[in-house]
Amino acid sequence: MKADARRLKELVSVLSRDMVPRDAGNPENLEKVASFIGNEFQKYSSSVEYQPYEADYFSVRNVRAFFGPDTKERIIIGAHYDVAGPYPGADDNASGVAGLLELSRLLPENELSMKVELVSYPLEEPPYFYTDHMGSYVHAHSLKQQNIKVRAMLALEMIGFFSDEPDSQQYPLFLLRPFYPSKGNFIAVVGKLFQRKIVRVVQTSMQHATPLPVESLNAPSLLPGVTLSDHINYWRNGFPAAMITDTAFYRNPNYHTPLDTADTLDYDRMAQVIDGVRAAIPELAATQL
């Protein structure tokens, strides 16, 4: 069974149309989204947990679903469910959440050798980005405090916008252009400068699983865009992590605007991203990073 493009479209449509706004100024809607994600997880996992915490004057929740054997080490795949401002947020980041929910449907078919945790977070966007109120920071820090070992963490950060137009792909440095495609028709695996192994394993697994082009980048945190998602909080807590992304504002002109709608995404290629991530899970479980 492969990822279902129609289901991905349905999930993105519900999140970006019926659950708006999903920003920090509307915590009651964040609560509805958390419940929606939890209910979807419960269709496929017998172990679903909420991780509530306080952020300034309101409460929010991480939503967690577990699959596979109860091993000491685990693989984590995460995606944030909040949006920057009162916008639809189809690519940023209903696409990542939909991908996470589709993975929850597919994982029970896998013979997993290691525990896999899917987790969706609030408060990735401003004004909470780079703060300890990010849901991913709360989650990563709690794992560190409990001495839980993490083999790898993958952040699904905007995975639905693709373009075959020439020069549709931009880069943070002019020097990168000769080494990467000019068309925004690929998915990228982005990692830390000295964590090359996790990026290589994920890229190779994804390339073998689907025809979708997969590019990779290991770069210093100072390079614009490298730290712009939840994987940063796993780095902060000492865990190997990487980001799976369509490169956000380097490709998608609708980033953080009212135009980031469900009809702008490519669900067939988005499904290939999820098939690729699914294929990477057993390879990560079999590799010491």
Where in the chain are the domains? 5-285
pLDDT of residue 222 exceeding 90, the answer is no
Question: Across all residues in the chain, what is the average pLDDT?
Answer: 97
Domain 5-285 listed as CATH 3.40.630.10: yes
- Residue 114 banded pLDDT, cuts 50, 70, 90: very high
Q: Give the whole-number percent of the chain exceeding pLDDT 70.
A: 100
Q: Return the closest-CA partner of residue 253 out of 155, 164, 157, 170.
A: 170
Of the candidates 236, 282, 252, 124, the residue with the CA atom closest to the CA atom of residue 187:
252
Residues 96-100 have a mean pLDDT of 98
What percent of the chain is predicted at pLDDT more than 90? 93
Task: List 144's β-bridge partners, or say none.
Answer: none
Give Rg (Cα) of the chain: 17
User: What letters, b where the CB count within 10 A reaches 16 and e where it falls short, cover 201-233?
Assistant: bbbbbbbebbebbbbbbbbeeebebbbbbbbbb
pLDDT tens, residue by residue, 246-289: 999 999 999 999 999 999 999 999 999 999 999 999 999 999 98
Token pair, residue 100, equals: 């996470």
Tell me what the mean pLDDT of segment 133-137 comes to: 98
pLDDT in tens, 60-93: 999 999 999 999 999 999 999 999 999 999 999 9
Collapse the DSSP code of 28 into the 3-class scheme (helix H, G, I; strand E, B; otherwise coil) and give the result. Answer: helix
pLDDT confidence of residue 178? 87
pLDDT at 176 over 90: no
**34 conformational bin, left if phi > 0, alpha if psi -120 to 50, beta if neither:** alpha
Give burial (CB, 10 Å; 0-12/13-18/19+) of 180.
Answer: middle
| 102 vs 222: which has the higher pLDDT | 102
